[in-house]
A and B are shown apart, each in its own frame.
Chain A
Amino acid sequence: MERKKFFSVFGLGMMGILFTRFSSLKLFSKIPNNKKKIKVKINPLAVKRQKIGNKNV
């Protein structure tokens, strides 16, 4: 009886530990949902700078 109790407690404890350890961090964190993404597109006609002052960029 005692042995059963011991192992059941032990087992449930292990389950709890493994659950929190192995669950992906996504479940517990507040990563913002960027599903409604804004489309960012560079304007292909823009000419970028090669030099600023005397420094190459």
Chain B
Amino acid sequence: MSDHKNDIQNPAPNYWRSFEELYSDQKFLAEKNNEFKEGASDAPNTDKMSPISRRKFLALLGASAAVAGTACSDYQDKGEIVPYNNKPEEITIGKANYYASTCTGCSSACGILIKTREGRPIKIDGNPDHPVSKGKICSQGQASIMGLYDPDRLKSPKRKIGNGLDDADWQEVDKEIVLALSTIGSREIAIITKEIVSPTQNEVLKDFIKEYPATKVYSFEQFNESIRKNAWQKCYGSSDFPFIKWNEAEVVVSLDADFLGTGSHRVENTRLFTERKNIMNKKFNRLYSIESNLSLTGMNSDYRLMLRPDVQYSFVMAVINELQKKNVITNSVNASAFSLSKLAGDFGLSEKILNHLVNDLSKKKGKAIIYAGDHLPENVHIAVNLLNEELGNSELYDTEHSTVNVRNLSSLNEFKNLIDKMKAGNVGVVIHFDTNPVYNLPADFNYAEALQNVDEVVTLTEVENESSGLSNHVLPIHNNFEAWGDSKTRTGFYALQQPVIAPLYSTRQKESILLTWINGDTTSYKETIFHEYLMANWENSIYPTLNSKLAFNPFWYGALHDGVVRSNDISNGIEDFNYSVIMELKNAQVKSDGITIQIKESYSLRDGRFANNGWLQESPHPVSKVTWDNYAAISTTTAKQLSVKNDDVIEITVNNRTLEIPVFVQPGHVDNSITIETGYGRTNSGSVAEGAGFNANTIFFSTGGLTPWVYEGAAIKKLSRTYNLVVAQTIYDFTEKDKKDLPQKRGIIREGTVEQYLNNPHFLNGKEHKVLESVNPPVPYDGVKWGMSIDLNKCLGCSECFIACNVENNIPVVGKEEVDKGREMHWLRIDRYYSGSAEDPKVSLQPMLCQHCDQAPCEVVCPVVATTHSPDGLNQMIYNRCVGTRYCSNNCPYKVRRFNFFNFRDSFNDGYQESPVFALLHNPEVTVRSRGVMEKCTFCVQRIAEARSDATREGRTIKGSDVTTACQDACVTNAINFGDINDANEEFYKYRNHELGYYVLEELNVIPNVTYLAKLRNTHSEEA
């Protein structure tokens, strides 16, 4: 109550709420002092409440849901097991079947054996019965299995609508094209093919021409031997360039010819050449490589000189002159204008090596061969042929077998005429028969532009490409392993191609497509249409020439079984040398200014057709170890002159067209020259190929160069941007003192010369290594103990073993960014060491894989015992125990362990490797590793386990020779040997205990089980 003494007139009303208040009850007044009544803050009386609180109610709700869920699920359910309804007779689940067929990766048509599991092809190896490949194929053949399961493959025909492609029906598409073909009128139908090696395919083309007489067939290969063949015909008349008996050559002179690295006879050349790098029978050849870029052949040469391709002609003539002066050869051509010593002075060639070369050619007449590169001009080839003829080296030409050309490649002039006709609107239909002319044809043809004047452009292809992007119809064709075919590449045999899997998608065999169009009736197509045609052609035309004692059907099945059929056609032999060709040899001028550009085919992607193959893109370049990109290879001196270094982007101008490409300083490259490999920079060609490298075909011309592959006087401009080239192997800085000769000092690379070896076979064992004490007690290995030997004399660094290992062991493709971080997952790598100067180094190669050390440093440090040692000598990597500590990799002195930082299958290219079709590619016997586990070479334990199981079935124990590892199978030169170190009867035993054998990092006392056989260079004793 307030005192309103001022308010006498209006006394404030006296508000009260209860009688207690009005009468000022004592109790009331006392209670007023407390804010809350008594008992207000007492705990609630739970006895009267419901026993279930809100919290408990929710908990019980969740628990009962859990129980319900538990009760409803069948926790013991192990899924289902589904048998065949009708099991094909050939299939035994769990066992592989092998089928003989032919690879269609290039025109070599090597014989292959396709290994299938439950009807799916999973591995390609060579067919041992094929007389050329003899059980081996190249890395493209090995990796081609990925092409079958490529998620980017076209699954149905497409028709061009506006700017894009729309799905279409086969029947509709066939109708539209047949209409276009039959209403061609006076215009031409052009079919553009690759080099045709299949006689039956040629018959289909002939039938097509009969049906549509306006048709002309044009065959094109971007890299071909046309110059060589033309030169040969001028020298020797009608015959074709012969095969060379490399295994009988004691001296080989390679003039910028990468015959061991690229080119279609690679597999055969390599196999024959390395027969004379034999430490067992001590037969060694000597290889001189006079080349511009450091190539695979150059890496393995005994003597190497660097010379630009435009100087090669002068070089050969100078050698001829020198030999004429020494009366080693007759004075058939006037070469006096070419002086070898002047050339040596002008181009910095070593006089010593030139003397050795001339001496060797003189002494080894008839046992040497000079071989010029495909890209060199005709006069070089003519001069080389003359020199070989004069020296009697024609002994090394194979006269028993010769090339068979099913259909000749079209000349560049014929193509020029086609383009002109196209531009004039005189070509009505162009069919790209599994070719990509927009990408591969010379840039000066402006083919893409010419296509615009053609009404109907059809591309037959497996994966979209640059040409299909400009087509009206894109028709998907069968992959190699879904298709029938045959091939005839040389005299003496035919090879057959059979499909092992029914077509995965709605594709058709390219020959079948043509047959349907020949037929005109679009409903006449059935899957077997070409198979019937093939059998009919064989029965009518080929089988009668073979004089087989069998009726046709059993003959045919036998032919398909073997994959190869011997035939009676014999070589035409070689005619006499036509000396009038010497008129063509004139004095040539060498342009001394400007940079010479050489366009070469990629070691992994060839002419670009394998660009969508992740394994091949990630396969390091054999020399530079660059992955995922191409580059302009340039010498250290020229790089300094142009003030460029690695990763700088330069602009190359040739014939008024430019190419922007990053630089890679290549030790061993000749000055004032640049080599660029093509096959990269592809567009519209699949998700893996996208963004990889630069399209060097923009400076590939039909004229304006020394040859289509060599251009003089190019202009180079340094641009301001850089491009990150990813190298899968760190490059040592040569100038760092302590890094120099590190591989030699540490004993990683041990080499010698042939002379050293022949004088003292035990020259390698001079150094005594101090053997360290071991913590572990010695383990007796009484039974089979696995070991491997790698003969560094035979290893050329071609990376075939590497690809085979990737295919066999489900190695994921990780992509460029991850390779940059060193996360490539390759179990086997080929280390390339340079020694000597940065301008002219020697190269040593060493395949490095898990050494399966007896006292493995990785085994003792695993905290979860995920890596242990087996009683047969293998270091076991158990993926399900591994927690990803990475201590094992830390301890490994060879750094051969690879860690799965990611499950690369779901990260690379948006989970490309997790698409359902890609899963079919995997080898079912090898675990597909996930994130967080360590992996490494297992010595193909799955093959060992299978061999052991087969041996048990036959009632015996396993022998060392029962097992071949994937790398061993793939190596063309048989550099890799694998077997039981305890079995003295095996071939392998000799390699393991050879006097040239050494272990890498032996002094660490880890006792590795991979023996390396020291490389012997066949150089003269006064040099190192």
Considering only residues 78-102 of chain B, those with a C-beta below 8 Å from chain A are 88, 90-91, 97-100
Closest A residue, CB atoms, query B502: A41
B63 adjacent to A50 (CB under 8 Å): no
B916 adjacent to A37 (CB under 8 Å): yes
Give bound CA distance, A43 to B118, whole Å: 11
CB distance from B148 to the nearest CB of A (A): 11
Closest A residue, CB atoms, query B915: A36
B65-73, B633-641, B795-803, B868-876: which lies at the interface: B65-73
Give bound CA distance, A23 to B74, whole Å: 8
A24 adjacent to B500 (CB under 8 Å): no
B69 adjacent to A19 (CB under 8 Å): yes
How many inter-chain residue pairs (CB < 8 Å) link A and B?
102
Considering only residues 1-57 of chain A, those with a C-beta below 8 Å from chain B are 4, 8, 11-12, 15-16, 18-19, 21-24, 26-27, 32, 34, 36-50, 52-53, 57
A42 adjacent to B119 (CB under 8 Å): yes
B561 adjacent to A47 (CB under 8 Å): yes
A38 adjacent to B504 (CB under 8 Å): yes
Given the known inter-chain contacts A4-B51, A24-B75, A57-B98, please indicate yes or no for A42 contacting B916, CB distance below 8 A.
no
A47 adjacent to B113 (CB under 8 Å): no
Residues on the B chain within 8 Å of A48, using CB:
90, 97-99, 561
CB distance from A54 to the nearest CB of B (A): 10
Give bound CA distance, A18 to B75, whole Å: 11
B67 adjacent to A15 (CB under 8 Å): yes
Closest B residue, CB atoms, query A53: B128
Give bound CA distance, A9 to B500, whole Å: 63
B498 adjacent to A45 (CB under 8 Å): yes
Residues on the A chain within 8 Å of B916, using CB:
34, 36-38
Give bound CA distance, A41 to B501, whole Å: 6
Mask: chain B, 107-122; 1 = CB below 8 Å from A; 0 = not: 0000001001011100
Give bound CA distance, A21 to B70, whole Å: 9
CB distance from A16 to the nearest CB of B (A): 7
Closest B residue, CB atoms, query A26: B77
Considering only residues 10-59 of chain B, those with a C-beta below 8 Å from chain A are 51, 56, 59
Given the known inter-chain contacts A34-B916, A46-B560, please indicate yes or no for A15 contacting B98, CB distance below 8 A.
no
Give bound CA distance, A12 to B119, whole Å: 52
Most buried by B among A4, A41, A42: A42
Mask: chain B, 553-574; 1 = CB below 8 Å from A; 0 = not: 0000100110000000000000
Closest A residue, CB atoms, query B73: A24
Chain B interface residue count, CB cutoff 8 Å, equals: 43
Give bound CA distance, A40 to B504, whole Å: 7
Closest A residue, CB atoms, query B557: A47
Residues on the A chain within 8 Å of B69, using CB:
19, 23
Give bound CA distance, A57 to B127, whole Å: 14
Give bound CA distance, A48 to B562, whole Å: 9
B119 adjacent to A49 (CB under 8 Å): no
B917 adjacent to A49 (CB under 8 Å): no
Closest A residue, CB atoms, query B47: A1
Give bound CA distance, A41 to B87, whole Å: 11
Give bound CA distance, A16 to B66, whole Å: 8
Give bound CA distance, A39 to B120, whole Å: 10
B98 adjacent to A52 (CB under 8 Å): yes
A46 adjacent to B500 (CB under 8 Å): yes
Residues on the A chain within 8 Å of B56, using CB:
8
Residues on the A chain within 8 Å of B560, using CB:
46-47
B499 adjacent to A22 (CB under 8 Å): no
A49 adjacent to B98 (CB under 8 Å): yes
Residues on the B chain within 8 Å of A44, using CB:
88
A47 adjacent to B75 (CB under 8 Å): no
CB distance from B591 to the nearest CB of A (A): 55
A18 adjacent to B70 (CB under 8 Å): yes
Most buried by B among A46, A48, A50, A57: A46
The residue from B98, B119, B498, B528 contacting A40, defined by CB atoms under 8 A apart: B119
A24 adjacent to B74 (CB under 8 Å): yes
Residues on the B chain within 8 Å of A45, using CB:
498-499, 528, 531
Give bound CA distance, A42 to B100, whole Å: 15
Give bound CA distance, A8 to B88, whole Å: 60
Residues on the B chain within 8 Å of A47, using CB:
99, 498, 557, 560-561
Closest A residue, CB atoms, query B79: A26
Considering only residues 741-769 of chain B, those with a C-beta below 8 Å from chain A are none
Give bound CA distance, A40 to B69, whole Å: 37
Mask: chain B, 666-682; 1 = CB below 8 Å from A; 0 = not: 00000000000000000
B561 adjacent to A39 (CB under 8 Å): no
Given the known inter-chain contacts A23-B75, A32-B914, A41-B502, please indicate yes or no for A49 contacting B63, CB distance below 8 A.
no
A15 adjacent to B63 (CB under 8 Å): yes
Give bound CA distance, A40 to B84, whole Å: 12
Residues on the B chain within 8 Å of A16, using CB:
63, 66
Given the known inter-chain contacts A23-B75, A39-B504, please indicate yes or no for A49 contacting B100, CB distance below 8 A.
yes
Does B920 reach chain A (CB closer than 8 Å)?
Answer: yes
Q: 19 pairs across A/B with beta carbons < 8 Å?
A: A8-B56, A16-B66, A19-B67, A22-B70, A24-B74, A24-B75, A24-B77, A38-B920, A41-B119, A42-B116, A42-B500, A43-B500, A43-B501, A43-B502, A47-B498, A47-B560, A48-B98, A48-B561, A49-B97
Task: Give 8 closest A-B pairs by Cβ, nearest first.
Answer: A42-B119, A41-B502, A47-B560, A19-B66, A49-B98, A15-B63, A22-B75, A43-B499
Told that A18-B66, A43-B499, A49-B561 touch, could you supply 6 new A-B pairs with CB distance under 8 A? A24-B77, A37-B916, A38-B920, A40-B118, A41-B502, A42-B91
